[in-house]
């Protein structure tokens, strides 16, 4: 039995009308911005009133991109954009020209070991699945330092990885190890953070600043309140985190429950963190 032919589309496609609309007869009416097709009118799309539409576009573009790439689950890496790679640590110290800058440079250099830990963890994560599968795909913020280390580990073993970058006042070019077709740029932090967690099966949090704190504490809040199912949250650097956050004091003050301290795991090595993830999922 022959399959009946597919009837032609009743309406012209957006692509067709976009081409036709780009070559109008030059008369005063067609030259006016009001005549532009709405979805080709950048001035219109950037209006304050169109913020809800831009939210939808940022959510949908990345969602379609990851679905088409068959990215079903991710292993997310959070961490500083300032911690140097081990080979760059001494140069940071040498460039310090005041005692204050030298003290900071030495602290950053001491944390350079976490660059290598993030890279090693990404290697283990990326080589876990069988060929052709897309599980525990490495996902970072796409920038330098810890983010670069995560994408680099995946790249070194030939695995794809995501980079969810964001427009900042200072230029932040995606690090060279992000898979080009999986490098996305955001305007809205809220939509970027949604995509960090929508497919996340585990999260590794390395020493970092305000951005890392924002992402880490929002994740804790979402798990604490049941908005996100419990998942392995690996907190790298016990000394660093206990110095900058008094977690125990939060419980002692009664503003969190003692059980909330079990939402995350202090770890130091790639092997230790990966073992926790495998145990959580019975792998």
Same domain for 249 and 200, yes or no, is: yes
| Pairwise CA distance, residues 80 & 58, whole Å | 24
pLDDT tens by residue, 74-127: 999 999 999 988 888 888 898 988 989 899 889 898 899 999 999 999 999 999
Joined together, the tokens standing for residue 142 give: 């796409």
| Pairwise CA distance, residues 115 & 272, whole Å | 16
Where would I find the H helices in 143-246?
Answer: 146-156, 189-198, 210-224, 238-244
Same domain for 187 and 213, yes or no, is: yes
pLDDT tens by residue, 41-74: 889 999 999 999 999 999 999 999 999 999 999 9
Domain hosting residue 53, numbered range = 29-68
pLDDT tens by residue, 92-102: 898 988 989 89
Q: How confident is the model at residue 145 (pLDDT cuts 50, 70, 90)?
A: very high
What H or E segment, with its residue span, contains residue 115?
helix 113-126
Same domain for 123 and 246, yes or no, is: yes
pTM above 0.75, yes or no: yes
Residue 144 belongs to a domain: yes
| Pairwise CA distance, residues 168 & 52, whole Å | 21
Joined together, the tokens standing for residue 188 give: 């809205």
C-beta neighbour count of 160 within 10 angstroms? 19
Residue 14 belongs to a domain: no
Average pLDDT, the chain: 90
Same domain for 96 and 234, yes or no, is: yes
What does the longest C-alpha to C-alpha distance in the chain come to? 84
| Pairwise CA distance, residues 47 & 201, whole Å | 37
Residues 173 and 110 sit within 8 Å (Cβ to Cβ): no
Residue 250 belongs to a domain: yes
| Pairwise CA distance, residues 55 & 176, whole Å | 28
């Amino acid at each position: 039995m022959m399959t009946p032919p597919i009837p032609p589309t009743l309406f012209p496609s957006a692509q067709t009308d976009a081409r036709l609309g780009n070559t109008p007869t030059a008369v005063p009416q067609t030259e006016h911005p009001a005549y532009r097709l709405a979805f080709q009118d950048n001035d219109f799309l950037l209006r304050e009133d169109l913020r809800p539409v831009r939210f939808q576009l940022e959510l949908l573009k990345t969602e379609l991109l990851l679905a088409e790439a068959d990215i079903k689950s991710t292993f997310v890496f959070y961490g500083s954009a300032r911690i140097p790679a081990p080979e760059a640590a001494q140069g940071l110290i040498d460039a310090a020209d005041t005692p204050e800058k030298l003290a900071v440079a030495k602290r950053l250099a001491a944390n350079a070991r976490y660059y290598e830990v993030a890279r090693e963890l990404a290697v283990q994560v990326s080589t876990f699945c069988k060929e052709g599968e897309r599980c525990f795909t490495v996902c970072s913020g796409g920038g330098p330092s810890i983010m670069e280390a995560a994408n680099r580990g995946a790249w070194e073993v030939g695995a794809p990885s995501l980079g969810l970058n964001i427009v900042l006042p200072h230029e932040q070019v995606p690090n060279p190890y992000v898979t080009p077709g999986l490098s996305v740029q955001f305007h809205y932090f809220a939509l970027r953070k949604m995509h960090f967690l929508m497919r996340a099966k585990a999260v590794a949090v390395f020493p970092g600043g305000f951005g890392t704190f924002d992402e880490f504490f929002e994740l804790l809040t979402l798990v604490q309140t049941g908005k996100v199912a419990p998942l392995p949250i690996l907190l790298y650097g016990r000394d660093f985190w206990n110095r900058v956050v008094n977690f125990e004091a939060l419980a002692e003050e009664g503003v969190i429950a003692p059980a909330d301290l079990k939402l995350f795991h202090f770890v130091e090595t790639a092997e230790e963190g990966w073992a926790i993830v495998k145990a959580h999922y019975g792998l």
